[in-house]
Amino acid sequence: MHTAIHFPENFRLRTPRGLRTALEVVAKQRHTTPSEWARQALLRALETEGVRLPQGGEPERAAA
């Protein structure tokens, strides 16, 4: 059984021309939506920088 996850917050940003199309292309290759692909990419980038966003909580700084 698949449980739906709801994300209550919206986040807007200004992007260079062509980014929307690029997101659509990569999302299609990964069989997902552009917003889900972007969400996962942002979370991975945050973790690379040492910030982890726990389920439903405030961000935590990783131990240095």
What pLDDT score was predicted for residue 58? 66
Asked whether the predicted pLDDT for residue 64 surpasses 60, the reply is: no
pLDDT number for residue 6: 74
The pLDDT score that the predictor gives to residue 21 is 97
User: What are the backbone dihedrals phi and psi of residue 54, each rounded to the nearest 5 degrees, phi first?
Assistant: -70, 160
Domain-wise residue ranges, the chain: 19-50
> CA 18, 36, 41: angle at the middle one, nearest 5?
70
Position 57 scores a pLDDT of 63
Secondary structure of residue 45 in the 3-state scheme? helix
* Tokens 């973790």 found at: 47
Q: Tell me the CB-side half-sphere exposure of residue 60, using CA atoms within 13 A.
A: 8
pLDDT in tens, 4-63: 677 788 888 899 999 999 999 999 999 999 999 999 999 999 999 998 877 666 666 655
The 3-state DSSP class for residue 29 equals: helix
